[in-house]
Chains A and B, each alone.
Chain A
Amino acid sequence: MPIIGAGLSHKTAPVEVRERLSINEEKLPEALERLSTYDTIAEAVILSTCNRTEIYVVATDLEKGKEQIVNFLSVYHEVPENTFSDCLYFLNERKTVHHLFRVVSSLDSMVVGEAQILGQVKQSYMIAYENGNTGTILNRLFRHALECGKKVRSDTAIGEMPVSVSYAAVQLAKTVFESLEKRPVMVIGAGKMSELTIKHLVSNGASPILVTNRTFKRAKELAEKFCGIAIPFEEKFEKMSEADIVISSTGAPSYIITRDDALNVMRARRFKPIFFIDIAVPRDVEPGIGEIENVFLYDIDDLKAVVDESLRERKQEAEKGEEIVREEVEKFMSWLGSLDVVPTIKELREKMESIREMELSKALSRLSKLDDREKEVVKALASGIINKVLHTPIVKLKEKANEKDVYECVDTIRHLFELDK
């Protein structure tokens, strides 16, 4: 029975299509229920995040299975098939496995190496598992995939590098100050970019947030968002001596903070360390400030250089990740191959034959006085028993070959007769 993976992701579908086909976590059990009413679908897991909706099934028939998945998506979401069929991709067998392993290892993510996907896959699988929609194959597949994802995370540095300017700023601040807990932050200019950086700082415990802006009203608005304090633009230098971190992102054409300003501020704060983050273009902070003792200045280009560097490193790490994925896919495929009916029957026969031969030679060595005809009879007896015993299981197994529960059956036989040893 083929494994089919079908779905759409940020690589194939625009957000308008993705949002129409996404399935909320609470609705997953019901969706799985409906999906498994289709006659070819034996096992199913639905993975739905903001970047992808993917359906993994074990079906009794490849073509029919694909059709039924498309039909399910269309009927379930009440959208016509042609609105999304162009974005849909279908994978089978090895390609499905490979794809899932890459997804869970965050190699297929929009931001390669992001950490959420592992948890999302786990959650989707657990829902399907608890709901009884998974069986031998998908259980093994998803557990193996999750293992693979963890391995990629622990064996490569894929998730360690900052990939956004604001995250890099926080990491650097933490290299100056051990923790950002209760660190006063001053924000000059109430732009979008500074808001994002404040968010990161606040989530690391920074407070209070002092906001200043040329138009006081906007300073107040931004301050309210973070329970901060708005400060009139003229008083910024007096208050700056209280701040350990200063973020500047105004639209001013020339420097807002000159070397002399900074020196005054530093004297007022007795040269306690201060960290300037200048994310404005053109720059707000005079570059020479960075030479003053205990002043640390990073401008937008410095931060971008950090981010570019880590993106480059992530790419290298992703290569290592791909290698791990390939190995793990190989392992899974060899397990899957053993689950087919034909090789199982063959191995079962071989095992029985070896038992027969062993027992026969033991018996014949003890019955040394038998003549040739009598020996033939004993031999025929042995093979007769083996064939009769095996006949029914083999016929049943062959009949099962195209039924939904064939893998359970094969798995049981392999287990009972210890065929994997």
Chain B
Amino acid sequence: MEQVVVIFFWLSLILAGVSTLFYLRIFFSRGEAGIFTQLAFLSSWLCLLSLSVVIAGEWLRTGLHPFTGPFSAKVFYSFSILAVYLLFELFYVRRAPKIKMIGVLVFPISVLLLLVGWTQFEATATLSPELKLFRVFIHISSALLAYGAFIVGTIFALVYLIQENQLKKKRGMAATTQKLPSLETAEASTHKALSIGFIFSVVLLLTGMFTAQLVWGKMWDWKEPRMVSALVMTCAYGFYIFSRDILGWRGRRSSYLALVAFGVAVFTYLSPQLLPSIHRWGTGF
């Protein structure tokens, strides 16, 4: 089983690398990219497929649910970023073909994550029995899916800010501005991605609380930095959605808010390393 995992891991890595090249080729081609559009489509979806084989293989290999070790967490990370992005591409590509330009940023990130994951291939976490629970499985996977969505949403928010700045400075016809998605698409995609992320982070909080109830006998601990930080993060994304849908904030303000929320998310991610925390199993989540 280990062999299968390794083979498909490298296949995924190669496919992610090849997809990066295809997306770059599309980005730098003049007019229609022709065959490269189809090649990018093919290699990116194959990459996703191959990553799911790695995840399934890890599950069978370790006997634990996946994403418990740093290696499989990175693989699933990569998977969730790609899955979120590719769903957006699938959904938007007819109406807004320029959305493909986001792939130029998404694929290198997943290549990087996979490379980092490979260095942690041997480091498997040892889990106490209660952590093999189904709710922990949901807890971790929704965390990783939420982060996948947040990363994609943040990229869209950045693209929005770049595009808006160019348009305001009367450089709307600059080559890169014409290649990147329109403000409308960037804005709507940020909103959709962050909403997906928000839902997963609510699930993350709830399952976390239930697990805490079971393991430590109490649902909430204000001294646990990751718990508090995750709550702030969820509230920040909640406020982003609230301000946009109810208060009618849009555009630049909304996008800055998305960036701030992502800052909190990054802190949440790093908090067990920065502060004393109970989230210690399998460092590098």
Residue of B nearest to A162 (CB): B173
C-alpha gap A367/B30 in the complex (Å): 68
Contact indicator A293/B253 (Cβ below 8 Å) = yes
Chain B contacts for A291, CB-based, 8 A: 168
Q: For residue B253, give the distance in angstroms from its CB to the closest CB of chain A.
A: 7
Question: How far apart sit A309 and B253, CA to CA, in the bound complex (Å)?
Answer: 32
- What residues on A are CB-neighbors of B178 within 8 Å? 171, 175
Please tell me if the beta carbons of A296 and B173 are within 8 angstroms of each other in the complex: no
Q: How far is the CA of A160 from the CA of B182 in the complex (A)?
A: 18
Q: Which of B246-264 contact A (CB under 8 A)?
A: 248-253
Specify which chain A residues have a CB less than 8 angstroms from the CB of B96 in the assembled complex. Answer: 178-179
Partner of B184, one of A171, A178, A270: A178
Number of contact residues on B: which range applies? 20 to 34
With A154-B30, A175-B183, A273-B183 as contacts: A298 and B170 at CB distance below 8 Å = yes
Q: Which residues of chain A in 240-288 are interfacial with respect to chain B, using CB atoms and an 8 Å cutoff?
A: 270-273
Q: Which bracket fits the contact residues of A?
A: 20 to 34
A172 x B184 contact (CB < 8 A):
no
Partner of A176, one of B31, B95, B167, B250: B167
Interface check B177, CB cutoff 8 A:
yes
B-facing mask of A378-393, CB < 8 A → 1, else 0? 0000000000000000
A294 at the interface (CB under 8 A from B): yes
When the two chains form their complex, are residues A305 and B251 in contact, meaning their CB atoms are under 8 A apart?
no
Nearest opposing residue in chain B for A161, CB measure: B173
* Least CB distance, A241 to chain B, in whole angstroms: 13
Instruction: Identify A271's interface contact among B31, B185, B250, CB under 8 A.
Output: B250
Report the minimum CB–CB distance from B164 to chain A (whole Å). 9
Chain B residues lying within 8 Å of A178, measured Cβ to Cβ, are: 95-96, 181-182, 184-185
- Is the CB of B276 closer than 8 A to any CB of chain A? no
With a cutoff of 8 Å between Cβ atoms, the chain A residues found around residue B170 in the complex are: 298, 302, 305
Q: Which residue of A lies closest to B188 (CB)?
A: A178
Residue of B nearest to A157 (CB): B30
Give B169-191 as 1s and 0s: 1 = Cβ < 8 Å from A's Cβ atoms: 01011000110011111000000
Query: Is B173 a contact of A171 with CB atoms below 8 Å?
Result: yes
> A162 vs B170: C-alpha distance in the bound complex, in angstroms?
15
Asked if B163 is at the interface of the complex by the 8 Å CB criterion, the answer is yes
Q: Assess whether A271 is in contact with B172, with CB atoms less than 8 Å apart.
A: no
**A residues 127-184 touching B (CB-CB < 8 Å):** 154, 156-157, 160, 162, 168, 171-172, 174-179
Q: How far is the CB of A152 from chain B (nearest CB, A)?
A: 12
With known contacts A172-B173, A178-B95, A270–B167 Cβ distance under 8 A? no
Q: B30, A177: Cβ atoms under 8 Å?
A: no
B232 to chain A, nearest CB (A): 26
For B95, B173, B182, B183, the residue with the greatest tally of chain A CB atoms inside 10 Å of its CB is: B173
Complex CA distance for A178 and B96, rounded to whole angstroms: 6
Residues from chain A with Cβ under 8 Å of B252 in the complex: 293-294
Distance A271 CA – B250 CA, assembled complex (angstroms): 7
A398 and B167 CA atoms in complex are apart in Å by 70
Given A154-B31, A293-B253, A298-B172, CB of A175 within 8 Å of CB of B177 = yes
The answer for the CA separation of A182 and B182 in the assembled complex, in Å, is 16
Return chain B residues, CB-CB under 8 Å to A298. Answer: 170, 172
Given B248, B249, B250, which contacts A273 in the complex, CB threshold below 8 Å? B250
CA distance A298 to B166 in the complex (A): 12
Q: Is the CB of B184 within 8 A of A176?
A: yes
Residues on B with C-beta less than 8 A from A208 are none
B168 touches A174 (CB 8 A): no
Say whether A310 faces chain B, with CB atoms less than 8 Å apart.
Answer: yes
Contact between A306 and B253, CB atoms less than 8 A apart: no
**Minimum distance in angstroms from B36 CB to a CB of chain A:** 13
What is the CB-to-nearest-CB distance from B243 to chain A, in angstroms, rounded to a whole number?
12
Q: Are A160 and B184 also in contact (CB < 8 A) when A175-B163, A271-B248 are?
A: no
Check A176 against B173 for contact (C-beta < 8 Å): no
Report the minimum CB–CB distance from A160 to chain B (whole Å).
7
With A171-B173, A178-B181 known to touch, is A293 a contact of B251 (CB < 8 Å)? yes
| Contact B173–A294 (Cβ < 8 Å) | no
| A98–chain B nearest beta-carbon distance, Å | 25
CA distance A344 to B249 in the complex (A): 79
- The interface residues of chain A lying within 8 Å CB-to-CB of B167 are 172, 175-176, 296
Cα–Cα distance between A272 and B250 once the two chains are bound (Å): 7
Whether a CB of chain B sits under 8 angstroms from the CB of A290 is yes
Q: Which residue in chain B gives the minimum CB-CB distance to A309?
A: B173
Interface residues as binary, A289-304 with B (CB distance below 8 Å gives 1, 0 otherwise):
0110110101000100
User: Nearest Cβ distance between residue A295 and chain B, in whole angstroms?
Assistant: 9
- Shortest Cβ distance from B29 into A: residue: A154
**For A177, what are the chain B residues with a Cβ–Cβ distance below 8 Å?**
182-184
Q: State in angstroms the CA–CA spacing of A302 and B174 once bound together.
A: 13
A383–B30 Cα distance when bound, in Å, is 60
**Contact A172:B182 (CB < 8 A) given known A178-B96, A272-B250, A273-B250:** no
A-B contact pairs, 13 of them (CB 8 A): A172-B167, A174-B182, A175-B177, A176-B167, A178-B95, A178-B181, A178-B184, A270-B248, A271-B251, A272-B250, A293-B253, A298-B170, A306-B173
Binding site for A on B (CB under 8 A): 30-31, 95-96, 163, 167-168, 170, 172-173, 177-178, 181-185, 248-253
Shortest 6 CB-CB distances between A and B: which pairs? A270-B248, A178-B182, A306-B173, A172-B172, A178-B184, A294-B251
